[in-house]
Every structure is written in C-alpha cells, then in structure tokens.
Amino acid sequence: MGFSAEFFVLLGFIIFVLLLAYFGAHRTVFNALDARARRIEGELAEAKRLREEATAVLASFEKKRAEAEAEAAGIIAQARAEAEMLAKETEARMTDFVARRSKQAEAKIALAEAQATADVKAAAAEAAVQAAEAVLKNDIKGPAAD
C-alpha cells in the first residue's frame, strides 16, 4: 500500500479536527466569537448613545447661541434707542444753551447801547453846558468891554 504524502496530510488534519472537537475547542472559539460580537454590539450601542448625546448637546448649544444672538440684538437695539434719545436730549440742551447765550449777548448789547447812548447824552449835555457857559461869558464880557 503506497499512500501518498497528501493522504497523510489529510489524515493528520482530520485527526487534528476530531481532537479539537473532542476537547471542545470549537466551543472556545464560538464563545470567543460570541464574546467579541457582544463587545462590538456594546460598543455600537455606546457609540449610538454618544452620538445621540452629542446631537442633544449640539442642539442645546445652537439654542443657546440663538438666544445669545437674540439677546445681543436686543441690547444693540436698546443701545441705539438710548443713543438716539441722548442725541436728541443733547441737541435740545444745546439749542436751549445757544438760545440763552444769544439772549444774554443781546441783553449785553442792549445794555452797552443804552450806556453808550447815556454817555453820548451826557457828553452832549456837558458840551451844551460848556457852550452855554462860554456864550454867557462872552455876553457878560462883551457889554462890559464896550
């Protein structure tokens, strides 16, 4: 009987597989594969949970960002309104200030005109008195000198 080398390799392989089956090696392999499958399923479930959590956190941050933008827009609108009100108030104060200063200037001008008029009248009266005095002196000296 001349068995070839391939026959002995096949026979050795079959005996090896039967020994593995007899000692329960297939259960160990199946258990390891099942454990790995369960671990992968757990990791997938954890990844799904983390993704949902990340989505919720993202939605929360988007909502907070939108609220912050709305609040900022409100603050800007309020600041603009206050600035406009302040500008109008300042303009009204400035107009009032200019009007008061104009009235004060007009009053000073009127006072200066009145003073100048009084000074001119006083100077004219003084000149008239001096002229009258001179005329009277001439009149008094004139007939006496004749």
> 146 lies in a domain?
no
Q: Is the pLDDT score of 28 beyond 80?
A: yes
26 Cβ contact partners less than 8 Å away, ≥ 6 residues apart: 20
How many structural domains does the chain have?
1
> 1 lies in a domain?
no
> 2 lies in a domain?
no
Q: Is the pLDDT score of 1 beyond 80?
A: no
Task: Supply the pTM of this predicted model.
Answer: 0.45
SS3 57: helix
Neighbours of 25 (CB within 10 A): 13
Q: Is the pLDDT score of 145 beyond 60?
A: no
> 41 lies in a domain?
yes
